[in-house]
Structure 1
């Protein structure tokens, strides 16, 4: 019976294509080079590593291999699990799959990030590992918000050394270390972190009372944070992975759901140890039928838990693993590739891999430019951007240029330079409408009306129009953690008079929030629209008055964002039904709306090298290529080789022109006095072969522009 069902499903997928089956097979193989075709056609029942250099068409190969499994090997789409590193990569892969498969087949493939794959398993079988139905998932900002208030009660001994974001990252790393206790993990991390921050390399300091106190406070905070999540029936992002792994290990049949036959993993070099354990459970289900795609030369996330040994570990676990190399670059000029390879080849431990392009001529050599002072370096970049745009015969505009920085602070500073020069720019990541304070605080009431256990949303509402101060919120968080109840339950205790020492403002805020939520629920069950509910919240909280009092300088912009939210609520066409479902759908609609990419064409892009991974621009500038930036001055705990790989990733974002700039000196602030200090060239560029770069600006002649148009497809 089951076999007949599978045959019927396969007929649906093969006959409902818009084009004949034979043409579909030809379609997904069309235009592939030899190694790409070999990777796509490789037998699916054997483990495969596709080692794909930058710009070698890995996304095309991934989607073609997925299509080939369905079209050429009769795999049910629902039996394939494809795991990506980002939501953006999932969306891009799905969009390309629609070119080769019909919508039914594409939608049935289990395609998503590690987090979304684990989320789907936990939604179905979470109770098997003590995850209650209807659990919430707190995003990074929500977790940091909670940790900020939980850490305040620990006192200055903790908060003077650790920001809430650092605490979140530390606790995520603790959860990643599945083989050791939280106490041991925290003890190891705090010694390393405090050693770095205080620049104290004396090993005896590791046993000091201060270290012991920090470890004790952090462990207490870790458990307090864990209890807060549990009381709210919530998971953070790392919990999704660890609980997902628990499920796959404890309930082996869960991974068999849908008769999983093949696993495909994108950006394998970015996989953490915990994520690899999940992959391992999945390929147990497929009996070793797995394809991974990645590039060890682009492993730049070790600080975030990425494990650069996963390629070797996979070969150890699956000895029959084969390798296929993708080495033909379709993105960059030969000159840019030559310089990038010269940088990455300085790593003597790196397995030798080639990267080449068939584009001719070679194109202008990358520019390596040294200026006297920082101001001159900034002026040079501005001058070159204007010169390129002016002299490119409309081949290149401002939107084709990117400036890649080592950190966000440098990008912030350079944005002012472009602003003063009158050059249009955008700085990524750009905050979406749903990330604006005035929108989050408004939406918080809707989310609480559906589920008042959402502690971060309670904090948003209290800090927003209910205007409760930080100290009072921290006190409430302390009470909720002490009683192991949700923050909303703590508010109800206040309202019920159980906590007699509560200040009047807290009682007032509690009463107002509880009353508003009761009315919102009543309105929902009467069929009120999301727009009507938002209007009620604004009126009940005197929202605009709150914004005017607290945001005098930019009230107009914030009021416009509130109005935009209401307009989206009016445009939203949800089901007309009673209860919370229309609001749930509206919130989903707003979340998806905030994820829509806005490319802002015509603007220079500013972002970090880490964020630039997977992207490309015709013209790329990498400023501050000096010692202390590449490699970073904090890199004693990070591999120097990873720092080199980061610069390699930055260089390989460029399609036509690449600039590596630096200034000989910079100004630093010493006791309020600006002091000029010497800067030295990065060791990564200092030893570049002279024939791989030039010191002067490239000529924008006909020969160069013809090559650029060919690469960019703008003939």
Structure 2
């Protein structure tokens, strides 16, 4: 009998593998180089660290390894957990895995960001950590809106002195540190780390004593935490902490215990909380983990990530094997040599290199000094025009990127591009759902689904319903005092059971409660997201509100609203699912709409941090001077770890380029403002000053026919019409 069962299980396994191969459309091993294949075929029951330099095909290796685990080693797809750092990366990975395994098997993988993986487990097992599985997830925008109203209720004008974004980040860091050190509370960490200069808004002037402002920080944190708890809501930090709580339970859910292999993308970006999550996951998988990362691209130390995570992995799993991916498929040999000359200045880094089989080597990167910043930016604009005019139709505006150290530098460059008639875009662009007129529109839907969604209640009240902001602030603080959610406080106000009535808010509050009741009734009767949105627009006279609120951009706002309504109208409504499920599906769809258009015909401006993971044929890096590379903040204490991170950031910027790389710098800059403004000389960045002369040109060079042919080969194009966009 036992032998029969073994035979049956083997037959089922063979059938499963054959079905997968029939559904796949691509061989996962095809086209891999020797080192890539070594990483993909590495035994699955061991720990593997893949050190992948820029442009070496790490995503291909990671997805091929997933296919290898399923097809060759018979791991059920649901037993594999793959973690990425961005939604974009997870979407790209899932698309590639579908080619190898088919749609059904790819969808069974636990593949997503740290936050989405934690969310999926908490939805299923929330009660195990005293969490209602119907919890809401509040974005940073939601949380900062809430923080603003809590701050104003404690001290009028406080939100004009303190940056709510910085305050949100401070709270996140305090919660993470407290979770890593159970002997400390977030409140204690806040008291020890609060610094007004860090929290102050850029350019703000505080008329009072900064210490007075700091005294409210703990109260803001207390109120914020209470609203989250009462609303059954988690911010992004809470999501990771609750996920870690679940994974660290001694008696774990069986589903976690069934994990066979963990994979991690961009491992060098892992912070302390995220590493502990991974540690629990690979413990469940008996130490079977594959991480892909590059210590040379570790640039997020300010949010807790660092090269030390590679060391921690070796301590926890001493048998971890290293495999280096060094063959670059992105850049010319000249760009790689220049980039390696930058990063090799760090003698403590793991010794690895980059090479390409592309020939010839390509033009040397340009390293040019200009008299002033204005001359520098004008030269960049002229060079972009010259390249496009002389590239035989191969290059266009959308093939060029300008990577800046800070957003402020971008604001200095954009007027120059405008004057030169060069089309451009500044990333990250706001997605449709992030526009003010759309945020409020979406708030109608979220308010219907959950009365505990306090940020959406606030947005609706002070938006089209016209409630006074001070009155809403008062009501929010009253709800905190009553240990209640805001909506219940509004109901008490409408019912006359609240003795401390705010007369100016009664009308908008009554309208809100009636509107919510009306829309909820329509939802229960089967109304689609499109019908609910149109009804909300009509009930609130939304277009009139937009005309008053956004008079100068009214037509543009209307166009954006119409775009959302169009998306809602054509959104596939599965009539077999509940009306509420259809609304949630539409909200997720809106969130996932691409931020950046694929084909723009514009030069791209963005920070070096934001450029990580992207590539362009032509890259300009301006203002490569001391105080920028490395940034002035890293020079205050002259801490080598911070300076090394600045060096890695410049390396990341260099390795975004496929064909042409330009490093420019001004010899003088203006310092101070107005009457105190003066011109001073500045030094070239220490990171580029020592690069050998043979690796760069001091002027912008002409492009030869041989160079053009090389560009065609690298970019895989014959004419501009064939150009694929990478950004």
Q: Same fold (TM over 0.5)?
A: yes
Q: Judging changes above 3 Å, is the alpha-carbon distance between structure 1 residues 520 and 170 closer, same or farther for their aligned structure 2 residues? A: same
- Corresponding residue SS for 1:172: helix
Q: In the alignment, does 2:712 pair up with 1:709?
A: yes
Residue 377 (structure 1) shift: 0.9
Q: Is the 8 A contact 1:343 1:684 kept in 2?
A: yes
- Corresponding residue SS for 1:45: coil
Residue 186 (structure 1) shift: 1.4
1:203 — aligned with what?
none
Residue 251 (structure 1) shift: 4.8
Aligned counterparts of 2:686 and 2:256: Cα–Cα separation in 1 = 52
Cα deviation, 1:421-473, whole Å, max 9, x if unaligned, reads 22122221111111111111112112111111101111111221112233222
Q: In the alignment, does 2:683 pair up with 1:684?
A: no
Mean Cα deviation higher: 344-353 or 78-87: 344-353
- Corresponding residue SS for 1:98: helix
Q: Judging changes above 3 Å, is the alpha-carbon distance between structure 1 residues 89 and 403 closer, same or farther for their aligned structure 2 residues? A: same
- Corresponding residue SS for 2:100: coil
Superposition map of 1:216-615 within 5 A: 216-254=215-253, 256-257=255-256, 259-576=258-575, 579-592=579-592, 594-595=593-594, 598-615=597-614
Residue 597 (structure 1) shift: 5.0
1:66 — aligned with what?
66
Mean Cα deviation higher: 575-584 or 328-337: 575-584
Q: Is the 8 A contact 2:162 2:201 kept in 1?
A: no
Cα deviation, 1:534-570, whole Å, max 9, x if unaligned, reads 2221222121111111211110000111122222222
Aligned counterparts of 1:354 and 1:576: Cα–Cα separation in 2 = 56
Aligned counterparts of 1:624 and 1:9: Cα–Cα separation in 2 = 62
2:131 — aligned with what?
131
Q: Is the 8 A contact 1:186 1:215 kept in 2?
A: no
2:190 — aligned with what?
186
1:204 — aligned with what?
none
- Corresponding residue SS for 2:433: helix
1:49 — aligned with what?
49
Cα deviation, 1:216-239, whole Å, max 9, x if unaligned, reads 532222221111101111001111
Residue 600 (structure 1) shift: 2.7
- Corresponding residue SS for 1:558: helix
Residue 194 (structure 1) shift: 4.1
Which of 696, 699, 703 lines up with 1:696 in the alignment?
Answer: 699
Residue 88 (structure 1) shift: 0.7
Superposition map of 1:87-102 within 5 A: 87-102=87-102
Superposition map of 1:628-667 within 5 A: 628-635=627-634, 636=636, 639-667=642-670
Residue 585 (structure 1) shift: 2.9
- Corresponding residue SS for 1:510: helix
Q: Is the 8 A contact 1:13 1:105 kept in 2?
A: no
1:670 — aligned with what?
673
Residue 187 (structure 1) shift: 3.0
Residue 479 (structure 1) shift: 1.3
Q: Is the 8 A contact 2:125 2:133 kept in 1?
A: no
Cα deviation, 1:288-344, whole Å, max 9, x if unaligned, reads 111111000000011122132111011101111111111111111111111111111
- Corresponding residue SS for 1:82: strand
Q: Is the 8 A contact 2:161 2:201 kept in 1?
A: no
Q: Judging changes above 3 Å, is the alpha-carbon distance between structure 1 residues 12 and 478 closer, same or farther for their aligned structure 2 residues? A: farther
Residue 420 (structure 1) shift: 2.5
Cα deviation, 1:47-68, whole Å, max 9, x if unaligned, reads 1110011111111111111111
Structure 2 alignment gaps of length 5 or more: 203-207, 719-727
1:206 — aligned with what?
none
Q: Judging changes above 3 Å, is the alpha-carbon distance between structure 1 residues 361 and 98 closer, same or farther for their aligned structure 2 residues? A: same
Cα deviation, 1:33-53, whole Å, max 9, x if unaligned, reads 111111111111111110011
- Corresponding residue SS for 2:374: helix
Mean Cα deviation higher: 60-69 or 176-185: 176-185
Q: Judging changes above 3 Å, is the alpha-carbon distance between structure 1 residues 671 and 396 closer, same or farther for their aligned structure 2 residues? A: closer
Residue 574 (structure 1) shift: 0.6
Aligned counterparts of 1:196 and 1:575: Cα–Cα separation in 2 = 47
Q: Is the 8 A contact 1:6 1:76 kept in 2?
A: no
Alignment length, in residue pairs? 701
Aligned counterparts of 1:449 and 1:196: Cα–Cα separation in 2 = 35
Aligned counterparts of 1:665 and 1:252: Cα–Cα separation in 2 = 64
- Corresponding residue SS for 1:291: strand
Q: Judging changes above 3 Å, is the alpha-carbon distance between structure 1 residues 414 and 522 closer, same or farther for their aligned structure 2 residues? A: same
Aligned counterparts of 2:160 and 2:550: Cα–Cα separation in 1 = 28
Aligned counterparts of 1:3 and 1:211: Cα–Cα separation in 2 = 73
Residue 623 (structure 1) shift: 0.8
Residue 161 (structure 1) shift: 5.5
1:82 — aligned with what?
82
- Corresponding residue SS for 2:54: coil
Aligned counterparts of 1:579 and 1:504: Cα–Cα separation in 2 = 36
Residue 8 (structure 1) shift: 7.0
Cα deviation, 1:572-602, whole Å, max 9, x if unaligned, reads 231347753433333233223x236522342
Aligned counterparts of 2:89 and 2:220: Cα–Cα separation in 1 = 35
Q: Judging changes above 3 Å, is the alpha-carbon distance between structure 1 residues 514 and 352 closer, same or farther for their aligned structure 2 residues? A: same
Q: Is the 8 A contact 1:16 1:102 kept in 2?
A: no
Q: Is the 8 A contact 1:46 1:288 kept in 2?
A: yes
Residue 395 (structure 1) shift: 1.4
Aligned counterparts of 1:703 and 1:266: Cα–Cα separation in 2 = 37
2:723 — aligned with what?
none
2:722 — aligned with what?
none
Q: Judging changes above 3 Å, is the alpha-carbon distance between structure 1 residues 579 and 694 closer, same or farther for their aligned structure 2 residues? A: closer
- Corresponding residue SS for 2:282: helix
Cα deviation, 1:166-213, whole Å, max 9, x if unaligned, reads 01101111121111321332134225x6479799xxxxxxxxx98986
Q: Is the 8 A contact 2:407 2:607 kept in 1?
A: yes
Residue 407 (structure 1) shift: 2.1
2:725 — aligned with what?
none
Residue 496 (structure 1) shift: 2.4
Q: Is the 8 A contact 2:363 2:660 kept in 1?
A: yes
Q: Is the 8 A contact 1:339 1:692 kept in 2?
A: yes
Residue 675 (structure 1) shift: 3.4
Aligned counterparts of 1:411 and 1:13: Cα–Cα separation in 2 = 54
Q: CA RMSD in A?
A: 2.5
Q: Is the 8 A contact 2:432 2:595 kept in 1?
A: no
Residue 671 (structure 1) shift: 4.7
Superposition map of 1:95-114 within 5 A: 95-114=95-114
Residue 266 (structure 1) shift: 0.7
Q: Is the 8 A contact 1:80 1:109 kept in 2?
A: yes
Mean Cα deviation higher: 175-184 or 371-380: 175-184
Mean Cα deviation higher: 462-471 or 491-500: 491-500
Cα deviation, 1:671-708, whole Å, max 9, x if unaligned, reads 56643333322111122222221111122111111111
Residue 668 (structure 1) shift: 4.3
Cα deviation, 1:516-536, whole Å, max 9, x if unaligned, reads 111111222233332232222
